[in-house]
């Protein structure tokens, strides 16, 4: 296993440090983030308490709002299974709050992404088209942090995959 050069907290701070654009490709079927458990459990029970009522999310939404208000771009493409997993269903709901903060969230099915040649085996952030933050997870989908990669070929490959995914991603989740 690769050893992260950044902790999960480091990754969260780094994703706020960009001058033009932050682009995230999410490929996992679930994420096991302990502080999300109360909101996720509430959603599973049918409780639609606004995500902004949970203290954990406020700093993230404030960070997105500040970045987009300053003219920077925050984008995310979520790779969804068909049908979406329960966690992905929750993420679809969460996207409304992210959009209110200024994030552009789009969707692409896993099959379509694979047909296009977009890798669906790792998550990453592309910051200012010059730094790739490769995110790492354990076998139970818990975030382990990540690595910052600046090799021009690696960054170029991920930018090309982003562009390809963005051409085919939709603003609304795909339906069967």
Name the average pLDDT for the chain: 93
Residue for token pair 């458990």: 37
Residue 70 has a pLDDT of 96
Residue 176 has a pLDDT of 61
For a pLDDT cut of 90, what percent of the chain falls above it?
Answer: 87
Phi, psi of 34 (to 5 degrees): -55, -40
Please give the average per-residue pLDDT across 85-102, as a whole number. 96
pTM value is 0.92
Phi, psi of 135 (to 5 degrees): -90, 140
Q: How confident is the model at residue 1 (pLDDT cuts 50, 70, 90)?
A: very low
For residues 9 and 121, the answer to whether their CB atoms sit within 8 Å is no
Domains and CATH numbers, the chain: 8-168 (3.30.870.10)
Q: How confident is the model at residue 9 (pLDDT cuts 50, 70, 90)?
A: confident
Q: Which tens digits make up the pLDDT trace of 110-169?
A: 999 999 999 999 999 999 999 999 999 999 999 998 999 999 999 999 999 999 999 999
């Amino acid at each position: 296993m690769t050893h992260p050069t950044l902790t999960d907290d480091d990754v969260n701070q780094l994703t706020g440090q960009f001058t033009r654009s932050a682009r995230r490709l999410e490929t996992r079927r679930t994420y096991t983030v302990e502080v999300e458990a109360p909101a996720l459990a509430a959603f599973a029970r049918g409780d639609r308490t606004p995500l902004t009522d949970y203290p954990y999310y406020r700093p993230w939404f404030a960070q997105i709002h500040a970045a987009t208000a300053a003219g920077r771009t925050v984008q995310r493409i979520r790779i969804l299974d068909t049908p979406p997993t329960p966690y992905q269903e929750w993420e679809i709901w969460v996207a409304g709050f992210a959009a209110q903060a200024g994030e552009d969230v789009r969707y692409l099915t896993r099959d379509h992404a694979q047909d296009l040649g977009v890798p669906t085996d790792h998550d990453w952030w592309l910051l200012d088209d010059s730094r790739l933050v490769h995110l790492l997870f354990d076998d139970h989908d818990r975030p382990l942090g990540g690595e910052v990669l600046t090799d021009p070929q690696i960054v170029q490959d991920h930018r090309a995959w982003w562009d390809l995914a963005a051409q085919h991603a939709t603003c609304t989740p795909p339906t069967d």
